[in-house]
Amino acid sequence: MLDTLEAQSPDALLALIKMYAADERADKIDLGVGVYRTDDGATPVFRSIKQAEQRLLDTQDSKSYLGPEGDTGFVSGLMPYIFGSDDPDMGGRIGGMQTPGGTGAVRLAVSLAKQAGARRVHMGSPSWPNHVQILGDVGMEPVLFDHANPDGSANVDALIAAIESAEPTDVVLLHACCHNPTGVDYTQGEWERIAAALVANGVLPIIDSAYHGLGEGMEEDVAGMRTALAAVPEALIAYSCDKNFGMYRDRVGAFYVMARDGGQLDAIMSNANALARANWSMPPDHGGAAIRLILNDDALVQDWQDELTDMRARLRWVRETLAAADNRVPGLDLAPLSSQHGLFAILKLGKDQIAKMRADHGIYMAGSGRINAAGLTSSNIDKFIDALADVTAG
Ligand code: LMR
């Protein structure tokens, strides 16, 4: 039976990690998979996580099962940061559960929407490549529209048109902030238009928040999403702690439902629990437990926030430096990078130019032209700009 399986090409982003590792050049630059890096090129464990993990090691007295919902203290502890400290459960309308990473949360959101009758998902293109893979795997049809305008701003008109054209069994997938792969986010005014269109057309949003805190700030990065949530009757939210707690390989995420009224939450969450049980039974505990300890300790929260503030400042420096180098690379428009957010940006390079970046300069970026800005440091950013000038010359 198994000989009927045809070989699949490896995930392009993950394949890039291997290609980079095999390159022996000392001055190679990795701008591929989305991990944060310091100016020394390291991806350290957060100081607050180290302390919380030590505390966990000292105090955890059982690893017995918790259940499909995972660590409920972790799930509720994040809610003030996501939904606001004034009313973190939006009047008792929000329920949530822990998931294996943001990917698990996206999978759960899409599966639950399907179980509720959804068939198609409107989404901006490009998007995180795994979004389309998850939709295909769950049996949902993606309906694509252009996410960004050629000038590097968001094409909100295309999104509004998609919402207005939606059929009753359609949902829409939105990125909360730090859009992956473009870095192009909606402005607050655009979120207000989006919220009004969702309400007018009765379309359920699935909002993916994978980079909370890496854009403008903890409050700023979710302001648009909160505007939408304040307007729409119901929503599904996928949340990742991979980047903003640096927990990548520990796979820490959360899935939230905002229901029309609190009375519906039990029924909705019982479906989410059943889907989780069939998919992964229970989420891995360690990362969620460590984050719960941070969220319950004011000093650790402060240290976590301080580290995020430093990360944002570094990403801003990379973006400003690239934008200021616009005139050194006449073949590319680098100026919009300063008004975009998060780890990623798309550079309009052709396949040959991306291959030349790799072959001639040892610079690894996704085939889409996406760069992970965090891979650029004070010691390699000049080399990168010169390489861009080289591959775009003539
Ligand atoms: C990325 O887009 O690079 C990250 O979200 C990592 C991943 O899992 O693809």
**Percent of the chain's residues with pLDDT above 70:** 100
Ligand 1 center to 204 CA (angstroms): 25
Ligand 1 center to 231 CA (angstroms): 30
- Residue 9: pLDDT above 90? no
Residue 208 annotated among the catalytic residues of the structure: yes
In three-state secondary structure terms, 18 is helix
Rounded mean pLDDT of 102-120?
Answer: 98
pLDDT in tens, 213-231: 999 999 999 999 999 999 9
Question: Which alpha helices (H) appear in the chain, and where do they start and end?
Answer: 12-22, 47-59, 72-83, 101-115, 129-138, 156-165, 188-201, 220-231, 265-279, 286-295, 298-324, 351-361, 381-392
What pLDDT is attached to residue 390? 97
Residue 128 annotated among the catalytic residues of the structure: yes
Q: Quote the mean pLDDT of the chain.
A: 97
Residue 280 annotated among the catalytic residues of the structure: no
285 or 15, which is more confident: 285
The CA distance from 277 to 204, in Å, is 24
- Residue 394: pLDDT above 80? no
Instruction: Evaluate whether 217 touches 312 at the Cβ level (below 8 Å).
Output: yes
pLDDT in tens, 302-336: 999 999 999 999 999 999 999 999 999 999 999 99
Catalytic residue among 128, 170, 250, 304: 128
| CB of 155 closer than 6 angstroms to any ligand 1 atom | no
Residue type, position 15, single letter: A
What pLDDT is attached to residue 120? 98
| CB of 13 closer than 6 angstroms to any ligand 1 atom | yes
Catalytic residue among 114, 170, 185, 243: 243
Q: 305 - beta bridge partners?
A: none
Element (H, E) at 184: none
pLDDT in tens, 29-78: 999 999 999 999 999 999 999 999 999 999 999 999 999 999 999 999 99
Ligand 1 atom at minimal distance to the Cα of residue 240:
5
Ligand 1 center to 201 CA (angstroms): 32
| CB of 180 closer than 6 angstroms to any ligand 1 atom | yes
What pLDDT is attached to residue 223? 98
Length of the chain: 394
pTM: 0.96
Instruction: Evaluate whether 100 touches 206 at the Cβ level (below 8 Å).
Output: no
